[in-house]
């Protein structure tokens, strides 16, 4: 009898319950990953917690990377991310997660005077069109952010939108995405409830996003699954 293969392991850092792994959860399970979910600010997120994982995923949340004084747990999260990047381990950052990656790689992250919330088309750079993001060129993806990151030195800039010139970057086995490929359009209501105050503050009607999720979500899920699968194939090779 042949020995069974050791399962791959993934660690996902979550900042709010409704911004979870979404469509990534079944995709990882199908590929044989055993996934540990760490809730930032509750569970210990440090270098030891992420060091041995085959894959680290840092998810989004409604705080900024510069909010260390208000949310001290960010300090240990940043140290964990920095150690992970130094090790070269496969790492995916989404929204706040991408901003944490960018800062750890020496790039500036700052609040802007605008927000980008809802589904809107993504434009890829020439490098982006040659990357795993290629299926997304001109396609509407889910945006939910008001901060922006600069592209880290040595990284490729992969995508932009009219209001936010830096939407994605890649360097080595690290991919940072400002937008949300992981969000499950079938449960967008959780996002609308969780971000109700932000939507009201910016005068954004949740009915618009709900309709966008209904009409655009299924196609985006198909494209997102292809992108995430291709990226996992690449980092697992």
Rounded distance between C-alpha atoms, residue 91 and residue 71, angstroms: 23
Q: Which of 149, 162, 161, 153 is nearest to 60 (CA)?
A: 149
How many Å separate Cα 190 from the centre of its chain? 17
Residue 4 has a pLDDT of 58
pLDDT of residue 6: 83
Phi, psi of 39, rounded to the nearest 5 degrees: -90, 110
Assigned token pair, 97:
């997660």
- Contacts for 199 with CB less than 8 Å, ≥ 6 apart: 117, 192, 205, 206, 209
DSSP string, 29-61: HHTTEEEEEEEBTTB--SHHHHHT-SEEEE---
Per-residue pLDDT of the chain (237 residues; tens, 9 = 90+): 445 578 999 999 999 999 999 999 999 999 999 999 999 999 999 999 898 999 999 999 999 999 999 999 999 999 999 999 999 999 999 999 999 999 999 999 999 989 999 999 999 999 999 999 999 999 999 999 999 999 999 999 999 999 999 999 999 999 999 999 999 999 999 999 999 999 999 999 999 999 999 999 999 999 999 999 999 999 999
| pLDDT in the model for residue 1 | 40
CA geometry: angle at 120 spanning 55 and 159, to 5°? Answer: 50
Task: State residue 2's pLDDT score.
Answer: 45
**CB neighbourhood size of 78 (10 A):** 16
């Amino acid at each position: 009898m042949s020995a069974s293969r050791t399962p791959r392991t993934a660690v996902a850092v979550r900042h709010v319950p409704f911004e979870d792994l979404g469509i990534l959860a079944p995709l990882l399970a199908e590929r044989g990953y055993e996934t540990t979910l760490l809730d930032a600010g509750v569970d210990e997120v440090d270098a030891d917690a992420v060091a041995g994982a085959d894959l680290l995923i840092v998810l989004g949340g409604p705080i900024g990377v510069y909010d260390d004084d208000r949310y001290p747990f960010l300090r240990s999260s940043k140290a964990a991310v920095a150690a992970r990047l130094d090790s070269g381990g496969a790492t995916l950052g989404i929204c706040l997660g991408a901003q944490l990656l960018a800062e750890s790689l020496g790039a500036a992250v700052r609040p802007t005077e605008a927000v980008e919330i809802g589904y809107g088309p993504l434009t890829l750079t020439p490098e982006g069109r040659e990357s795993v993001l290629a299926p997304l060129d001109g396609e509407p993806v889910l945006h939910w952010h008001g901060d922006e990151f600069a592209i880290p030195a040595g990284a490729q800039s992969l995508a932009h939108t009219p209001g936010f010139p830096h939407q994605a970057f890649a360097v080595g086995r690290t991919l940072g995405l400002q937008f949300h490929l992981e969000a499950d359009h079938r449960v967008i209501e959780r996002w609308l409830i969780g971000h109700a105050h932000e939507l009201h503050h910016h005068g954004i009607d949740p009915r618009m996003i709900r309709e966008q999720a209904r009409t655009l979500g299924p196609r985006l899920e198909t494209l997102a699954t292809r992108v995430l699968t291709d990226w996992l194939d690449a980092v697992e090779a």
